[in-house]
Amino acid sequence: MRRAARVVLLDLDGTLLDTVHDLSFAANRMRARLGMPSLDESTIRGFIGNGIGVLVDRVLVGARDGEVPPPDLRSRALAIYEEEYAAALTRSSVCFPGVREGVSAMRASGLRLACVTNKAERFTLPLLQHAGLMPFLDLVVSGDSLPRKKPDPLPLLHASAELGATLDDTILVGDSENDAQAAHAAPCRFIAVDYGYRHGGDVASLKADWVVASLADAAALIENSASSTH
């Protein structure tokens, strides 16, 4: 590492929390209310990562890249989805293995932590509270906190500055192409977790500085790298 990290930015869906079951449940509830057949969870998993608006578009057309739904249908579907997801928010979403150990170790080593996600704040904060992660975080930047979200680097720049760091002091931990693009654009160092929601892509495609199997491994990597700078 170029210098010891001071700030770690953490993605939410696919990095801290496994939320796919509740996202998929809400998506299929939405489709049912619109008179549409359900989709496989594995299909919906590939639609996650760009915020709820894009997720709804993809669920409506049944494809990651394709036609845009008619505005009236999209508006109706989005309202239904938000209602269903709010009801299912903490139904089965859980921390990935190693997350609590990882954030605890990071805080114990003096790092400042922020969650930077494309999920809207009204869903982000209850999820973090339910998971017991809020006490570890100094800052939460949600998808509607700023004018632009990942893969734009603005949320990373904002979080780093808010926590009194420079980009050389900052590391992003995430699972997706959105995270990778934001980190490369900022630029800041990027640790990719080898699980999460990558739309079927290989983790090597993210061109991360490091790849880890858990947040606990990320904490150990950061701690060991910091020790080697002294």
Q: 183: exposed, middle or buried (C-beta count within 10 Å: 0-12, 13-18, 19+)?
A: buried
Q: C-alpha distances in angstroms, 78 versus 34, 129, 134?
A: 11, 24, 27
Options 11, 13, 22, 217, the catalytic residue: 11
pLDDT value, residue 228: 61
Q: Are 124 and 101 in contact (CB under 8 A)?
A: no
The pLDDT-based confidence of 225 (bands split at 50, 70, 90) is confident
Percentage of the chain surpassing pLDDT 90?
88
Phi and psi angles of residue 3, each rounded to the nearest 5 degrees, phi first: -160, 165
pLDDT value, residue 109: 96
Query: Residue 183: which of 170, 195, 194 has the closest Cα?
Result: 170
Q: And the tokens for 114? A: 């922020």
Q: Which residues pair with 173 in a beta bridge?
A: 10, 191
User: What is the CATH code for 20-88?
Assistant: 1.10.150
Residues, the chain: 230
Q: May I ask the CATH class of domain 7-18+93-228?
A: alpha beta
Domain boundaries, the chain: 7-18+93-228, 20-88
Show Cβ contacts of residue 63 under 8 Å, excluding neighbours closer than 6 positions: none
What own/partner pairs with CB < 8 Å and gap ≥ 24 does 148-151 have?
149/51, 149/118, 150/116, 150/118, 150/178, 150/179, 150/181, 150/182, 151/177, 151/178, 151/179, 151/180, 151/181, 151/182, 151/185
- Tell me the whole-structure pTM to 2 decimals: 0.94
The pLDDT-based confidence of 131 (bands split at 50, 70, 90) is very high
In whole angstroms, what is the distance from residue 154 CA to residue 151 CA? 9
Q: C-alpha distances in angstroms, 4 versus 31, 124, 167?
A: 48, 29, 11
pLDDT, average across residues 191-214: 92
Mark whether 11 is an active-site residue.
yes
Q: Do domains 7-18+93-228 and 20-88 have the same CATH topology?
A: no
pLDDT value, residue 1: 47
